[in-house]
Structure 1
Amino acid sequence: MLTLSSSPVLYPLSDRAVISLTGADRAKYLQGQVTCDLDTLAPGDASLGGHCDSKGKLWASFWLANLGEQLLLVVNQSLVERQLPELKKFAVFANTDVEEVSADWQVFGIAGEGLSHWLSHEIDGDNLWQGGILIPVAAEHALLVLPKEATPPELPLGDEQQWRGLMIHAGLPDMSAEHQGDYIPQMLNLQALNGISFTKGCYMGQETVARAKYRGANKKAMFVLAGSCNDDIAINQDIEMQLGENWRRAGTVLSAWQQGEECMLTSVLNKDMDPDTLFRIKGQDDSRLALQPLPYELID
């Protein structure tokens, strides 16, 4: 069963990529590309955010960290091949260098009861540590991004699958390459997680994002489903909902966690879904999933 450890655990993450922006115009340039507001981020601060195409569809969701002289984006590794060229496309007109620097960094999850207390003794108030940065992502959950040569904290080690389950349980989005170009930021609940600024001004895809808010154009949101299944779950696998004696496609798997027959996943579904709706994974007729309460309020 997925539970938060009674003390902090370190989760080495192999599926995270790190993108760096340096140069005098780094913040100004990125401000015109992403949904979050860089003007509010002092050194040591971080934010969830999204990078959209011109139609407002996501190339990537990410965690953005301000290291002072450098900005880092922590993203799902599978997104980089398509996202990085898009992020670099207009950098030639700015004093900004954009590059993938995953080989230079280590990325860890840290989670467990008492994490905030442990951190207060280990890391200064600005979250900068050993040339890297701590990114709070949920209560008693954080990402730790350290230079390759830095020594990670001495904590019990957990596995990557467990961390993925903790992120799903926290209602945090993690999209993969299979979903690039499918969703606007609000469909991954970025507005409810302070990942969208509606006052910062123009950025790529901003008109679509604003229209979804002010005209009620978005009818979908990311939900957490949990239940049982016997076979492996694949990203982008169809999710079906029960309608009487029939089943109808409702969405696809965004991210998933499994332990034995127990499973939990995120999926983008219609916002007006009946909370008692029963779901299953297509091709796994014996699987059964139910909606779980999100740990935050969904807002437009």
Structure 2
Amino acid sequence: MKKNNYYNNKILFSKKYYKNWMYLQDWGLIHVYGIDSKKYLQNQLTLDINKLKDNFSLCAHCNYKGKVISSLRLFKYKTNHYILMERKNIIKYHLKILKKYSIFLKVNIVIDYNNIIFGFIGKKISYLLNIFFKKLPSSNKVLIINKKYKIIKLNEKIMRFIIIVLKKKSYKIKNYIINKFNYIKNNNQWLSLDIKTGIPNIDIIHSKKFFPQSLNLNNFNGISFNKGCYNGQEMVTKIHFLKKNKKSLFFLKGMSKNINNKNNYLEFRIKKKWKIIGSILFIIKLKNNIIWIQAILNNKLNNKNIIRIYNNNYCFFKIEKKFN
């Protein structure tokens, strides 16, 4: 691999999103297929699968209390066959829960160990990928599937593609992208754009702690309040119609030389005291000691509030964006 095509562990700012690629090793896939797969997912997931736009959407799977077990990217692979993309550290735990509810239906649920997930970021990626694939998704059709590849275009300001390919057939695309794109080893680069865009990711330590409305999924049409019964539906719709959601997804910015990833809580200052106001989902360090945080906080906070990591007098943050 060429040295100038290798960024290793650096997290880049948006002005350097030119033609970058990475293995999305922190994410995994679950396949749900069989005659009853659509019916089963309709009764489990927060979105209305009958209205699945472009065969792709963000959504969540909740427990009976309406708390999110896992946040998902769902796409329809073919008739009676769906694929869930989620954080890898929760995938085995989530698989057990999915199988638990499926025993009386004709549906198969398995983890995918045969495919690789690639992520592409940058202004020039569409042009370069089109040379290899000949046809790419567009803003009107975000998903293209054939026998070799599954290609998803994320409709965001900074261009991103997810490409899923069989491991045994991945050598051709690897040989092409190694010479054309800059390789980024750190998956936090992809995560940084999720933080900036307001896309939630739930790791296993945050499973079953938040309602889907608090995770900004309603802004991606990932929650249906009218489709009828699904797991956790009663609590989710009750919170929505009574307007009782007290938390929101936030993007915070700050600076620090050192960060303690073990501390999960954030505080804000009220008068002369500090009060716990929410939880950290993800915290990443960019260049020049800049820190980005994705957090679930009380939705009454505003840009004037100063926030810190719990009991840390050296690391303060301001609200960059609140996702209502």
TM-score, L = length of structure 1: 0.90
2:232 matches 1:205:
yes
2:169 matches 1:150:
yes
Task: Return the offset for 1:250.
Answer: 1.2
Which of 50, 53, 66 does residue 60 from structure 2 map onto?
50
The 3-state SS of whatever aligns with 2:21 is strand
Task: Return the offset for 1:168.
Answer: 0.8
Tell me how many residue pairs correspond in the alignment. 294
2:284 matches 1:257:
yes
Q: Report % sequence identity.
A: 26
1:164 touches 1:256 (CA, 8 Å); kept in 2?
no
2:253 touches 2:319 (CA, 8 Å); kept in 1?
yes
1:106 touches 1:148 (CA, 8 Å); kept in 2?
yes
TM alignment of 1:139-178, pairs within 5 A: 139=156, 140-151=159-170, 152=173, 154=177, 155-158=181-184, 159-178=186-205
- The structure-2 alpha-carbon separation of the partners of 1:240 and 1:19, relative to structure 1 and needing over 3 Å to count, comes to same
2:49 matches 1:34:
no
Name whichever of 130-139 and 53-62 sits farther off. 130-139
Which of 139, 148, 151 does residue 134 from structure 1 map onto?
151
1:45 touches 1:135 (CA, 8 Å); kept in 2?
no
Match in the other structure for 1:284? 312
Task: Return the offset for 1:76.
Answer: 0.7
- The structure-2 alpha-carbon separation of the partners of 1:235 and 1:120, relative to structure 1 and needing over 3 Å to count, comes to farther
1:235 touches 1:254 (CA, 8 Å); kept in 2?
no
Name whichever of 120-129 and 203-212 sits farther off. 120-129
The 3-state SS of whatever aligns with 1:142 is strand
2:270 matches 1:243:
yes
Which of 12, 20, 32 does residue 21 from structure 1 map onto?
32
Residue type at the aligned position of 1:271? N
Once residues 45 and 71 of structure 1 are traced to their aligned partners in structure 2, the CA distance between those partners, rounded to angstroms, is 9
Identify unmatched segments of 5+ residues in structure 2: 1-11, 138-142
1:52 touches 1:205 (CA, 8 Å); kept in 2?
yes
1:235 touches 1:256 (CA, 8 Å); kept in 2?
no
Task: Return the offset for 1:90.
Answer: 2.2
2:60 touches 2:222 (CA, 8 Å); kept in 1?
yes
- The structure-2 alpha-carbon separation of the partners of 1:75 and 1:284, relative to structure 1 and needing over 3 Å to count, comes to same
Once residues 293 and 118 of structure 1 are traced to their aligned partners in structure 2, the CA distance between those partners, rounded to angstroms, is 32
Match in the other structure for 2:8? none
Residue type at the aligned position of 1:112? G
2:136 matches 1:93:
no
2:90 matches 1:73:
no
User: Counting helix residues as a fraction of each chain, which structure ranks higher?
Assistant: 2
- The structure-2 alpha-carbon separation of the partners of 1:85 and 1:263, relative to structure 1 and needing over 3 Å to count, comes to same
Match in the other structure for 1:113? 123
1:135-175 deviation per Cα after TM superposition (whole angstroms, max 9, x unaligned) = 33341123222222233461321231211112111111011
Task: Return the offset for 1:124.
Answer: 4.4
Once residues 272 and 298 of structure 2 are traced to their aligned partners in structure 1, the CA distance between those partners, rounded to angstroms, is 20
Q: CA RMSD in A?
A: 2.2
The 3-state SS of whatever aligns with 1:293 is strand
Once residues 150 and 8 of structure 1 are traced to their aligned partners in structure 2, the CA distance between those partners, rounded to angstroms, is 22
1:26 touches 1:95 (CA, 8 Å); kept in 2?
yes
Which of 222, 231, 237 does residue 195 from structure 1 map onto?
222
1:57 touches 1:182 (CA, 8 Å); kept in 2?
yes
- The structure-2 alpha-carbon separation of the partners of 1:53 and 1:6, relative to structure 1 and needing over 3 Å to count, comes to closer
Once residues 233 and 136 of structure 1 are traced to their aligned partners in structure 2, the CA distance between those partners, rounded to angstroms, is 34
Name whichever of 151-160 and 104-113 sits farther off. 151-160
Once residues 295 and 99 of structure 2 are traced to their aligned partners in structure 1, the CA distance between those partners, rounded to angstroms, is 29
2:59 touches 2:73 (CA, 8 Å); kept in 1?
yes
The 3-state SS of whatever aligns with 1:34 is coil
Task: Return the offset for 1:176.
Answer: 0.8
